[in-house]
Amino acid sequence: MSGDLNIPDAPVIEGAEHLHSGKVRDLYRMVSGEHAGRLLMVASDRISAYDFVLDSTIPDKGAILTRMSLWWFDQLASTVPHHVVSTDVPAAVAGRAVLCEELAMFPVECVARGYLTGSGLLDYRATGEVCGISLPAGLEDGSRLPAPIFTPASKAAVGDHDENVSYDAVVGAVGAETAAALRELTLTIYGRAEEIAREQGIILADTKFEFGARSDTTIVLADEVLTPDSSRFWPAAEWEPGRAQASYDKQIVRDWLTSAESGWDRASGDRPPALPESVIAHTRARYVEAYEILTGEKF
C-alpha cells in the first residue's frame, strides 16, 4: 500500500521491474526482451476523488484512457513529438499499456484553459486573475475566455494537490527559454485539440500536459494526453455559462460522494465508501461516450 491513498500493490509483470505507482498508473522498466530499457506505462481501472484512491474501480477505464491517448498522439504527431515507442506490451497488460521513451521530465503541469471553471474560477473570483493573468470583469462559471491562457501548476507528490503557480515560477524552475517553449507548445496543442473536439460537438474547456526532454534537448509530449482524467470535456450543445456544465469525466463520482446518499463526511478524513453499481456503470458509460464521440470509433 502507498500511504493514505490506499493504492493497491502493482501487479508483477514478467520481464518488467516496477518503478512507481500513482493514483491511476503503474510505471515499470522492461528488463528483458527487445524493449529492454524502455518504460512500460500501465493505466489501471482505479479512480480517485478528493485525494483518495477509491476502493471501487471503473471497468475498462484503463483501456479507454490508453486508446484515447494513442488516438490523440496520432492527431498531434505533426505538432509535437510524443513518447510512445510501441504498443507491443506484455500480454498481462495488453490494451492498457504503452512502451515509452525515458525522458527528463519537467517539474511542471502545463495547463491550458479556454474556459473559466474549477480552480481558475476560484482564483478569478478572488483576484480577477488566473495565475497572474488579468481577465475581463463579469466572467461566469463556464465563460469562454477571450483567448486561451497558460496557467501552470506545480507537480505535486502523489496524494497532494497540484497548485496553480505563476509563469515566473516556471521560469525559475526550468529557465526562461524552456518556459517559453512549454507555454507555446501547450497553447498550440490546446488550440489544435480544441478545434478537433469542437468538430465532434465537444468543448475542450481545459487540459493539462506533461513534457520531458530527450538527451538532445528535444521537448516531447509525455504521459497521458487529452483524456477525461486530464481534461474537461463538455457537450457543446449543452454549454451554458453561469452554471456548472455537464461533463465527460468523473464528476458523477464526486457528486455522489458529496451527496446525502453516500453518507460520507468529506471533512472527517475518513475514507470514502464504495461506489454503488449504478454510479460505476454511469461513469464507465461517460468515459466510453467521450471516446466514441471524439474518435468516431466504437470501443
pLDDT in tens, the chain (299 residues): 333 567 888 889 999 999 999 989 999 999 998 999 999 999 999 999 888 999 999 999 999 999 999 999 999 999 999 999 999 999 999 999 999 999 999 999 999 999 999 889 999 999 999 988 999 999 999 999 999 999 999 876 655 567 889 999 999 999 999 999 999 999 999 999 999 999 999 999 999 999 999 999 999 999 999 999 999 999 999 999 999 899 998 888 989 999 999 999 999 989 999 999 999 999 999 999 999 999 999 99
Neighbour-count burial of 233, counting CB atoms closer than 10 A to its CB (0-12 exposed, 13-18 middle, 19+ buried): buried
Dist. CA 213–CA 101, nearest whole Å: 10
80 and 191 Cβ atoms separated by less than 8 Å: no
* Span(s) in the chain for CATH 3.30.200.20: 3-100
> What's the CATH fold of domain 104-264?
D-amino Acid Aminotransferase; Chain A, domain 1 (3.30.470)
Distance between CA 25 and CA 127 in Å, rounded? 35
Q: Where are the alpha helices (DSSP H) in the chain?
A: 61-75, 118-127, 167-174, 176-199, 251-257, 277-295
* CATH number of the domain located at residue range(s) 3-100 in this protein: 3.30.200.20
Looking at the chain, which residues constitute the CATH 3.30.470.20 domain(s)? 104-264
pTM, entire model: 0.92
Report DSSP letters for 166-217, one per residue. -HHHHHHHH-HHHHHHHHHHHHHHHHHHHHHHHHTTEEEEEEEEEEEE-TT-
Number of neighbouring beta carbons within 10 Å of residue 176: 11
